[in-house]
Structure 1
């Protein structure tokens, strides 16, 4: 995908998550070590996340919970609420 694409790459989204997490951590005056202790995520995982973007989903959710941002994850892969089109696929009238 082109670097000028309007669609973000996985790497770009990952870097944005890292940046936002670092901003939250710093705004709250929390060190990496304190975040590790208080969130239940290992210090190594916190450090690796902030340097490479790599982290388990469970650890990322724990960090989100610590910052009271767990609700932000509820919109990930949100399913379309309008199920009328899906219902048509299984309707006897269309078969």
Structure 2
């Protein structure tokens, strides 16, 4: 068991996101160059991301938008539903 217990480390999550992006890109028939052009993210950044998992948040969101997956980020980091309900009734 590592520093994060049973959870993946941030680096592991980064690499998993990169792998999933590669899979989606290939499913949609895009080369790295085409994904770069469609997303507006530099080709070198797309290559680096797919190899290392390292990318800026803005570039990641642009890539996800080009792959039709941007909406998946809308539910990320939302407060817990119970906490939101408490805040509604606790002025």
Give the TM-score range, shorter chain: 0.7 to 0.9
Q: What is the alpha-carbon root mean square deviation over aligned residues?
A: 2.1
| TM-score, length of structure 1 as denominator length | 0.81
Deviation at 1:87, TM superposition (A): 7.0
CA 1:37–1:81 in 2, change beyond 3 Å: closer, same or farther? same
TM-score of the pair, normalised by structure 2: 0.85
Q: Which structure has the higher relative contact order (CA within 8 Å, separation 6+)?
A: 2
State the aligned residue count: 89
Identify unmatched segments of 5+ residues in structure 2: none
- Which runs of structure 2 are paired with 1:1-95 in the superposition (5 Å)? 2=2, 5-82=5-82, 83=84, 84=86, 86=87
- Flag the structure with larger Rg: 1
